[in-house]
Amino acid sequence: MIVAVYLFAIQIYGDFCGYTDIARGVAKLLGIELTTNFRQPYFSRNVTEFWRRWHISLSTWLRDYLYIPLGGNRHGSLNTYRNLMATMLMGGLWHGASWNFVIWGGLHGLFLALHRAYSRGRPMPQVKAWWDFFGVFATFNLVCVAWVFFRADGFDQAMAYLAGIAAATGGIAPGVALAGIVYLPATLLIDLPCWRYEEQHPFRSHWPYWGRGILYAAMILAMALIGPSDVRPFIYFQF
């Protein structure tokens, strides 16, 4: 069951980041430069960094028009934690009038407050590479826990799903396994070089044109063979 949660994390990221990139590409053809909305969020080392990389237009709006007007971090730690929680709760409500969205926002508010409390005045560890790996792993899994509430049709369904994960029940359908084999490495192939070199394009410009061409062709072929045959609306169109 946990594989399905991971795949939903990839699905919603590919869905939202994909149509954002389409919009940015079309705008660029018209000479308009739109802001970047995603910067490899699943490589974030903590939840604070995640919200600097995920849905940047929304997180910036929440910061500028909710968090800062509420007082931001100007009036002590307790008020800062309150402001973080209130901002993310309202961010959850922005997605819809559902308790699941409220819980999703509340979880992120809690994660942000806990990270801020933990990191205050704490020196960086000596073995930074291992610490970064642990941070990315922990952050991704915390985000995936919150995604369960975002995706479920109701609170009872979300809790039942989390209980199934805790009990390690459920199997993996062949189609789901195949999707995992294809899409998870593809996401890494695209995002890892961008994150490593702080670039927007996964295949660096100094690579030979034929190498980039082969990789692009392989990715298009994989999408044609593995992707759904019917037309499905973008997930984020409902928000």
Catalytic residue among 55, 95, 115, 206: 95
Token pair listed for 156: 């009872």
Contact 54, 37 (CB under 8 A): no
Cα separation, 172 vs 158, in Å, equals: 18
Cα separation, 48 vs 115, in Å, equals: 7
Which of 107, 106, 64, 58 has its CA nearest to residue 86?
106
- Tell me whether residue 75 is one of the annotated catalytic residues: no
Cα separation, 114 vs 133, in Å, equals: 19
Dihedrals phi, psi of 125, to nearest 5 degrees: -70, 160
Cα separation, 107 vs 192, in Å, equals: 27
Q: List active site positions.
A: 95
